[in-house]
Amino acid sequence: MIGLPKIPSKKDVFVVKRAQEKESGHPFVAKLKFEDRNLRFEMCLTAEEADIYQNAQSTYEKIKESHPDPAEVKHWKEQKFISLHEHFGEKIRRYSSMAQYDPALRQSAVETCQLQIQFAPVAKNSFKNDPYTDELPEHMGLQLFDPMDGRRR
């Protein structure tokens, strides 16, 4: 057999560009980097998002050391990313429900929808790898925001 070099598969690359710190009022304190065979993803995180990720990471580390069930360990490994997806969905619901009283929250809802849509490749990967997830959940960002024309649905 001829030893041919392996040709790496082409990865999808997503780098989320967020508003500058001065414009958004949310300082970015960490950078989330995710990479597997098919995907490379980078996104800056606010303090709140970094805290959510870190809490899930800490839980995963504890479970990994103490739990004998590989399915449970894999579930908590994927929760690091699923928790961010759920956080974005909760923010969208909160901003959307209050937008009728405060027009500035309408823009916050749209921005969070866009962020959740950009994060979708990582979330989709994690939901598919989670042994306790049978199907992909609802996607609030896509339900409320049309990425093709940039308008709220």
pLDDT of residue 26: 61
pLDDT by residue (tens digit) across 21-72? 445 566 788 899 998 888 899 999 999 999 999 999 999 999 999 988 999 9
pLDDT by residue (tens digit) across 84-129? 999 999 999 999 889 888 988 888 888 898 899 899 999 999 999 9
What is the rounded average pLDDT for all residues in the chain? 83
DSSP string covering 113-129: HHHHHHHHHHHHHHHHH
- Of 52, 71, 56, the C-alpha closest to 129 is 71
Angle at 31 between CA 121 and CA 132, to 5 degrees: 40
- Distance separating the N- and C-terminal Cα atoms of the chain: 57
The token pair at 87 is 């956080």
- Specify whether the CB–CB gap between 152 and 145 falls below 8 A: yes
Residues 6+ apart with CB under 8 A from 45: 28, 29, 30, 31, 32, 53
- Specify whether the CB–CB gap between 84 and 49 falls below 8 A: yes
Percent of the chain with pLDDT over 90: 47
Residues 6+ apart with CB under 8 A from 87: 48, 49, 52
